[in-house]
């Protein structure tokens, strides 16, 4: 298990810029060694801020430091069960400023099914799990929906952290996200509206080489103290997140659980 590195910046805008800069560097390095990179995105003000910054400033970096976005597979760590294009969907929030602003290949954008897709919530979870399994060649079992989530290999997963220390749509006091036998779960009776969602499980998240938690605001300080203190998953889901190579926690000064090292 990787240790958590706390990176504290002065203000939210500094967090956004630093995460965007670090993400670009990581993706360039990954694509120098691999044909494709796989990232899982998040919503929230900081998460969408990072995507907006990447979309707006792609042309500002030297040619040799630009990401070949056509070789980047985009996934989502969770999604709200609302119709396609709805303003509450994470993919809709990322559309204009990131997905449409950069040169993605449409086949590398993997959206979680929407409530008007013709699928039930359970069918949508199964569909996304199958799509993940199809994209990761190390999954060779016949029953791909139950292939061990730890075998997935995201290069980078972005996660916001809620004031209650939830991540994706894995909330305190609920155990369904602990499973490693599947990669995607339906979420019902969510404590945050809307009540129905879809989420990667903890096992799928922790398959990533790099996991970065990004937060800002004084209301996140308590949650980040739990994260850095390695609290129990049932009490603080974000505390159980770890990348196989590294885990970073980015925040601004007012969200910092302690002084930056």
β-strands 197-200, 78-80 pairing:
antiparallel
Whether 167 maps to a domain, the answer reads yes
| Max CA pair span of the chain | 50
- pTM score: 0.91
Domain housing 122: 4-255
Nearest Cα to 158, choosing from 73, 36, 43? Answer: 43
Q: CA distances (Å), 116 to each of 76, 86, 113, 123, 194, in order?
A: 18, 11, 8, 12, 15
Domain count, the chain: 1
- Confidence at residue 172, expressed as pLDDT on a 0 to 100 scale: 94
**Residue 237 near residue 167 (C-beta atoms within 8 A):** yes
Give residue 182's pLDDT.
85
Please indicate, yes or no, if residue 42 is contained in any of the structural domains: yes
Report yes or no on 260 lying in a domain: no
Separation CA 112–CA 124 (nearest Å): 7
Residue 209: which CATH number? 3.40.50.1360
Per-residue pLDDT of the chain (261 residues; tens, 9 = 90+): 568 999 999 999 999 999 999 999 999 999 999 999 999 999 999 999 999 999 999 999 998 889 999 999 999 999 999 999 999 999 999 999 999 999 999 999 999 999 999 999 999 999 999 999 888 755 433 343 344 444 557 999 999 999 999 999 999 998 877 866 789 999 999 999 999 999 999 989 998 999 999 999 999 999 999 999 867 888 899 999 999 999 999 999 999 987 444
**Calpha distance 252→247 (Å, rounded):** 17
Residue 163 forms part of a structural domain: yes
Asked whether residue 176 is assigned to any structural domain, the reply reads: yes
Q: What is the pLDDT of residue 207?
A: 87
pLDDT at 53 (0 to 100): 97
């Amino acid at each position: 298990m990787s240790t958590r590195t706390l990176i504290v910046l002065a203000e939210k805008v500094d967090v956004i810029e630093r995460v965007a800069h670090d993400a670009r560097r990581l993706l360039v390095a990954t694509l120098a060694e691999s044909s494709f990179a796989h990232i899982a995105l998040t919503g929230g003000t900081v998460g969408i801020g990072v995507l907006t910054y990447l979309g707006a400033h792609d042309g500002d970096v030297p040619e040799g430091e630009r990401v070949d976005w056509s070789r980047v597979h985009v996934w989502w760590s969770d999604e709200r069960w609302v119709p396609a294009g709805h303003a509450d969907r994470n993919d809709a929030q990322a559309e204009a400023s990131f997905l449409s602003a950069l040169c993605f290949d449409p086949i590398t954008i993997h959206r979680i099914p929407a409530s008007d897709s013709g699928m039930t919530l359970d069918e949508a979870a199964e569909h996304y799990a199958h799509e993940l399994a199809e994209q990761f060649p190390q999954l060779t079992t016949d029953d791909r929906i139950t292939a061990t989530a730890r075998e997935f290999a995201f290069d980078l997963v972005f996660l916001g952290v809620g004031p209650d220390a939830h991540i994706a749509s894995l909330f305190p006091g609920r155990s369904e996200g602990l499973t490693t036998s599947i990669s995607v779960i339906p979420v019902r009776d969510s404590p945050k509206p809307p009540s129905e969602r879809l989420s990667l499980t903890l096992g799928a998240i922790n398959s990533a080489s790099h996991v970065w938690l990004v937060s800002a605001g004084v209301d996140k300080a308590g949650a980040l103290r739990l994260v850095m203190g390695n609290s129990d998953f049932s009490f603080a889901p974000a505390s159980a997140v770890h990348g196989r190579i590294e885990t970073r926690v980015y925040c601004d000064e007012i969200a910092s659980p302690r002084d930056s090292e």
